Amino acid sequence: MYFRETNAIPDPGQQVKLLGRRGRRLPGRYRTLSGPLTDPKDGVVIWVAEEHEYQEALQEGRRAEGMSWPVRQMEVISSSEAPDLGTQEPEEKARRPWWIRLFGG
């Protein structure tokens, strides 16, 4: 019996690669904005934003604008693969829940 490898569900703020319907990787860098959500059309989706939008939103203290993307068309980038883009937050901010760090509060 063969088992299909399931995609890992990325945490909010994690870098991901997006795949098109035919499995081709889309250009650009992306970050997740949400946890998994259910969509009647696409199944399990996660909101994602382009890296530059994510960084600008963090700097400006606002929510990043993004789009929903099916988890089955997403690959999580491991921390060893991800370039260091200077996204480390101060330690006191890192202790707050992710939704407060991401959406403010």
Q: What does pTM read for this prediction?
A: 0.68
For residue range 4-40, what is the model confidence (pLDDT) as tens digits? 445 678 999 999 999 998 889 999 999 999 999 998 8
For residue range 57-86, what is the model confidence (pLDDT) as tens digits? 999 999 999 999 999 999 998 766 655 555
Per-residue pLDDT at 71: 93
Looking at residue 100, its amino acid is I
- Domain map of the chain by residue range? 15-103
Per-residue pLDDT at 5: 47
Looking at residue 7, its amino acid is N
